[in-house]
Chains A and B, each alone.
Chain A
């Protein structure tokens, strides 16, 4: 029996060293990415089964539509009409824009390619804001790929497996995104804060021209996100006479906690330049 305890202790010490080694390798390099990608096939059924109860509930609910569904339908119809009318103008504007850019001999901005992906899991761990989506290397997903929702930027792909990828959201502490104020083109950075739909704008000087209600859109700086997608809306500006920078709270325009499906974007401008 003593033997069991002693061998347990040695085995434990050995495994600790092994794990620490693995963690360092995994954190510092990409060598283990292939292993992870292969092994994700193993964990796929878990996520699939884990998803079942939720999807069954929505499925069953979809057979018994209540008032809210009709109300939603009505709202969507109205929205659709509104969008269609906007779209007519949009087509004209695109044509005009391309004509003007040709006149200016500038690069023509084409539409970005997108594919749809479903969110498989949102609660990977409570410590970081990451979600799992059901598209991976097989669909051509790549690391750093922008991920958007219909009403704004969600984040970027941070890990690609065979047919799943992990998306780090803009609200994650480690995520920053270059933006500009839609109203006047002021460039800055939106930083995640680890809160559900709040982000910070940490690096604006006290006299910067920014107001409550300003929309922040991607600026295209850094070459990762294509320009012009909505990111956040300024909800609060706190001016402290002693601080060098403004303290700004913004809310992501994408309703991150309600999103079910996301769009993966291929930036055609960048593809063309590569």
Chain B
């Protein structure tokens, strides 16, 4: 899914094509699975934004393979999964991908905790947008409680980052320059 969108990602390394092909969509699929786990009620507003985190990582590490297009397709799949309006999460995921791809060099220079702040801001914007669209279409109140999810996303970012970097190195996917 990821490599097709930019086409030029093939030059980096072709030695272990099998891992390279499955790790990226696989990790996104796991993130979607984590999204629909039956969480207890008190956690409902504090579930980390798994898909955004994983997408953000791949856009940082391999912006030539995973970009706005893959982000958009991921978002459409999330819309299907959560039965939300078609295109709602597609917009937000494309947005996340755009930020990460255009600023990937600068973002990589940051400390992990600085990246956490960026993750917090990005997921807060995303949640605010989703909440706003829900407000327009379903007459739902705008409530501040939804920001909990942005906070937990930022808190689990170091873990997600470490795991995905390990998975990337193991499967021989090189960082794009």
Contacts and interface: CB of A to CB of B under 8 A. Distances in A.
A11 B83 contact: no
A271 to B, nearest CB: 28
Given A20-B87, A22-B87, A43 B138 contact: no
B102 interface: yes
Interface residues of B, number: 48
Contacts of B47: 123
Main secondary structure of the interface of A (DSSP, over half): helix
Nearest to A25: B86
Contacts of A23: 85-88, 91, 133
A123 B69 contact: no
B137 interface: yes
Contacts of A174: 138-139
B144 interface: no
A81 B111 CA distance: 67
A213 to B, nearest CB: 27
B86 A26 contact: yes
Interface stretch (B12-20, B93-101, B118-126, B165-173): B93-101
B84 interface: yes
B80 interface: yes
Given A32-B86, A125-B82, A127-B134, A12 B139 contact: no
Contacts of B72: 15, 18-19
A16 B146 CA distance: 24
A173 B143 CA distance: 14
Interface in B61-98: 63-64, 67-69, 72, 75, 77, 80-88, 90-91, 94-95, 97-98
Given A22-B90, A194-B140, A9 B36 contact: no
Contacts of B87: 18-23, 26
Interface stretch (A48-56, A219-227, A234-242): A48-56
B112 to A, nearest CB: 24
Centre residue among A15, A173, A174, A196 by max chain B CB count within 10 A: A15
Interface in A1-31: 1, 4-5, 8-9, 11-12, 15-16, 18-23, 25-27
Nearest to B78: A43
Contacts of B90: 15, 19, 22
Given A12-B68, A15-B68, A22-B87, A42 B80 contact: yes
A54 B38 contact: yes
B101 A46 contact: no
A130 B84 CA distance: 11
B137 A27 contact: yes
A19 B94 contact: yes
A32 B137 CA distance: 17
A43 B38 contact: no
A201 interface: no
Nearest to B149: A126
A8 B72 CA distance: 12
B3 to A, nearest CB: 15
A132 B38 contact: no
18 contacts: A5-B101, A9-B98, A12-B94, A12-B98, A15-B91, A18-B72, A18-B87, A19-B91, A26-B87, A43-B77, A46-B29, A53-B38, A121-B36, A121-B38, A124-B84, A125-B82, A127-B138, A174-B139
